[in-house]
């Protein structure tokens, strides 16, 4: 799971990435989670495309200089929009941006742009970088009124630890310049950075529905977004859900709201902050790993229902935080009601029935950032594949720690683990 790196870092990383992508098809994932790992032939998909607007749930890509200058293959795979890197700092422009924007337009994809920030928490530097990004976008033919995102993450000297308020103020300074030039500002970051390093509320207060959030359910190829894993945040317009969409080695994105080149987000007041409702029933399975006696939940018609997978064995509690009868095995599909809630003991949980709750981390997970390059392991503590999760990568972990052969791990997917020491 990784979000956009600076151009130099990603170029170095690409040669290694191409070598192991094929091997990721061997990873075991939940078959019903909307994740496809292998296809010999990619299907050609017909979509209702437009260069000026996209509907909610439209799929798209973001590209930089290490991707093709011609985005025709991405359009054939089903992409309806393309977010093109135009610049970085105040001295770099993407040499392929002009072609990437023009071929997006010629393939009826709505073009957008992003700028890799290096201003840390310096508001005056942020304004200068915004002006540089605007001039680059104009030179590359980005239509007026388009979206231009501030890509805020670690890399190229950008320090994301300058304080939540100063960082937000600098980002807003960037976004103000974008708006003043006649474009629509967005903020791109991982869910972890948005929640822990930026006063995101102040950003969203000034620019509603301006977030483009990166959050991956698992590492490896994902063809379609699984909204069971949607990061529950206010103000999200675009969700980046994979770094290997449909085997193209390109980031995959989905619009959470309809977007238009001619104005602000349409049709909705406020971004969707929870996964869409589902009427899927609870099911119970018996695993050798996690044997359970699951009790079906009572329906709660007044609250929205969402289908999700339990990723670590989950016991049932009441609102007081007291253990109740029953539990859910790992990899069981359940239905929960409403959003997260805090039990009387301070624990964050989700409701699965009348006065019945399970810990939210066992289902929705926690977003953590890799602090050291990390390997992925299986349930026996052996290397599951030869992929390396790079330092700075946001990874979703589930439940508390596992202990395998005397070492501590977090589960990041079905049968996939990363050592706790790497977070």
Number of H helices, E strands in the chain: 7, 23
Task: Provide the pLDDT for residue 204.
Answer: 94
DSSP-assigned beta bridge partners for residue 182: none
Give the integer Cα–Cα distance in Å for 423 and 421.
6
CB 158 within 8 A of CB 189: no
Q: What is the 3-state secondary structure (H, E, C) of 237-257?
A: EEEEEECCECCCCCEEEEECC
Give the integer Cα–Cα distance in Å for 368 and 278.
27
Task: Provide the pLDDT for residue 279.
Answer: 33
Residue 158: closest CA among 126, 132, 186, 135: 126
Tokens read off for 84 = 């093109």
Task: Provide the pLDDT for residue 44.
Answer: 37
Give the integer Cα–Cα distance in Å for 338 and 330.
21
Other beta carbons within 10 angstroms of residue 50's beta carbon come to 16
The DSSP bridge pattern shows strands 259-260 and 53-54 to be antiparallel
Residue 237: closest CA among 194, 280, 283: 194
Task: Provide the pLDDT for residue 226.
Answer: 87
Q: Which domains does the chain have, with CATH numbers?
A: 7-260 (3.20.20.80), 366-422 (no CATH)
DSSP-assigned beta bridge partners for residue 149: 114, 186
Give the integer Cα–Cα distance in Å for 54 and 110.
7
CB 121 within 8 A of CB 162: yes
Task: Provide the pLDDT for residue 27.
Answer: 34
Q: Give Cβ neighbours of residue 414 (< 8 Å, ≥ 6 apart).
A: 28, 29, 30, 218, 311, 331
Name residue, tokens 């009427």.
279
Backbone angles phi, psi at 315, to 5 degrees: -85, 160
Q: To 5 degrees, how large is the angle CA 240–CA 245–CA 246?
A: 155
Give the integer Cα–Cα distance in Å for 94 and 79.
21
Task: Provide the pLDDT for residue 49.
Answer: 58
Give the integer Cα–Cα distance in Å for 419 and 375.
8
Backbone angles phi, psi at 421, to 5 degrees: -60, -20
CB 93 within 8 A of CB 85: no
Q: Give Cβ neighbours of residue 135 (< 8 Å, ≥ 6 apart).
A: none
Task: Provide the pLDDT for residue 273.
Answer: 34
Mean pLDDT in runs of 10 for the chain (423 residues)?
A: 47 40 33 30 46 93 95 96 97 97 95 97 98 98 96 92 96 97 96 92 94 86 86 89 92 93 44 33 31 38 68 92 89 81 90 90 86 89 81 84 92 89 91
Give the integer Cα–Cα distance in Å for 287 and 56.
37
Q: To 5 degrees, how large is the angle CA 32–CA 33–CA 34?
A: 95
Task: Provide the pLDDT for residue 99.
Answer: 97
Catalytic residues: 62, 153
Measured distance between the N- and C-terminal CA atoms of the chain, rounded to whole angstroms:
14
Tokens read off for 139 = 């030179």
CB 103 within 8 A of CB 69: yes
């Amino acid at each position: 799971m990784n979000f956009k790196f600076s151009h130099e870092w990603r170029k170095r990383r690409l040669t290694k990435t191409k070598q192991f992508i094929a091997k990721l098809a061997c990873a075991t994932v939940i078959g019903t989670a909307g994740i496809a790992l292998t296809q010999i032939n990619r299907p050609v998909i017909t979509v209702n495309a437009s260069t000026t607007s996209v509907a909610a749930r439209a799929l798209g890509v973001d590209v930089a200089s290490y991707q093709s200058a011609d985005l025709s293959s991405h359009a054939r795979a089903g992409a309806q929009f393309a977010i093109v890197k135009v610049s970085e700092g105040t001295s770099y422009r993407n040499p392929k941006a002009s072609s990437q924007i023009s071929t997006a337009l010629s393939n009826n994809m709505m073009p957008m742009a992003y700028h890799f920030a290096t201003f840390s928490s310096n508001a005056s530097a942020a304004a200068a970088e915004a002006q540089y990004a605007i001039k680059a976008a104009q030179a590359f033919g980005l239509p007026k009124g388009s979206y231009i995102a501030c890509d805020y993450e670690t890399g190229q000297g950008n320090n994301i630890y300058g304080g939540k308020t100063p960082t937000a103020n600098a980002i807003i300074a960037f976004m103000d310049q974008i708006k003043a030039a006649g474009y629509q500002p967005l903020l791109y970051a991982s869910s972890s950075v948005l929640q822990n390093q930026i006063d995101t509320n102040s950003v969203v207060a000034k620019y509603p529905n301006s977030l483009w959030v990166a959050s991956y359910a698992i590492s490896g190829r994902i063809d379609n977004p699984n909204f069971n894993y949607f990061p529950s945040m206010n103000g999200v317009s675009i969700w980046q859900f994979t770094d290997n969409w449909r085997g193209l080695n390109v980031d995959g994105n989905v619009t959470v709201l309809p977007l238009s080149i001619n104005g602000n987000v349409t049709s909705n007041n406020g971004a969707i902050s929870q996964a869409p409702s589902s009427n899927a029933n609870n099911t119970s399975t018996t695993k050798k790993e996690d044997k359970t006696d699951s009790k079906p939940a009572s329906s709660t018609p007044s609250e929205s229902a969402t289908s999700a997978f339990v990723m670590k064995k989950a016991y049932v509690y009441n609102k007081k935080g007291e253990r109740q009868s029953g539990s859910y095995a790992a990899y069981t599909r359940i239905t929960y009601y409403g959003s997260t809630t805090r039990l009387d003991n301070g624990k964050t949980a989700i409701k699965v029935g009348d006065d019945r709750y399970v810990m939210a981390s066992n289902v929705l997970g926690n977003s953590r950032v890799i602090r050291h390059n990390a390997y992925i392991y299986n349930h026996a503590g052996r290397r599951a594949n030869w992929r390396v999760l790079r330092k700075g990568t946001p990874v979703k972990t589930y439940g508390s720690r596992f202990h395998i052969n005397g070492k501590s791990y977090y589960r990041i997917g079905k049968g996939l683990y990363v050592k706790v020491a790497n977070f």
